[in-house]
Amino acid sequence: MTSIDFASLMTTVFILVDDWYQQQQATLPAKRRGARVQFSDSEVLTLALLMDYVPFPGKPQFLGFIRASYHSWVSQLLDQSQFNRRSPQLDGVLESLRRSWVEALGGTQHMYLLVNTKPF
């Protein structure tokens, strides 16, 4: 089995998330009021998904790793409190994304699904 480097994983996940998000725009909740955000919903969703697969104990450590290692990729990265506010707002969208991937991978034909995740 070959492994994938983190940069390639992050790019692949973002492309899949953003493509799905753009297709779902009509069915997603209306945009929030206020100032235009600099960090897109697709980027927040990508980081939320990646946190499930990278062995960091929590959000602060994960965001610190992203900020230190990939600053040029995510120069508008949210600070910890902003991420903590935005990610719960997208929980329903994230669940819809996960369900659509399960359906696309044929997971709905199985009686049981195994979920492996870390508690927050």
> What size, in residues, is the chain?
120
Pairwise CA distance, residues 78 & 87, whole Å: 11
Domain annotation covers residue 70: yes
Domain annotation covers residue 119: no
- Predicted confidence (pLDDT) at residue 35 exceeds the cutoff of 60: no
Domain annotation covers residue 100: yes
- Predicted confidence (pLDDT) at residue 15 exceeds the cutoff of 90: yes
Mean pLDDT of all residues in 68-73: 84
Per the structure, the count of domains in the chain is 1
The reported pLDDT for the residue numbered 16 is: 93
Domain limits for position 91: 6-109
Residue 96 makes CB contacts below 8 A (sequence gap 6+) with 24
Domain annotation covers residue 62: yes
**Spacing of C-alpha 26 from chain mean position:** 20
Domain annotation covers residue 97: yes
- Predicted confidence (pLDDT) at residue 37 exceeds the cutoff of 80: no
> pLDDT grade, residue 19 (50/70/90)?
very high
What is the pTM assigned to this prediction? 0.76
Mean pLDDT of all residues in 72-98: 84
Domain annotation covers residue 116: no
Domain annotation covers residue 1: no
> pLDDT grade, residue 79 (50/70/90)?
confident
27 φ, ψ (degrees, to nearest 5):
-100, -5
Domain annotation covers residue 117: no
The reported pLDDT for the residue numbered 31 is: 61
Whole-number average pLDDT of the chain: 80
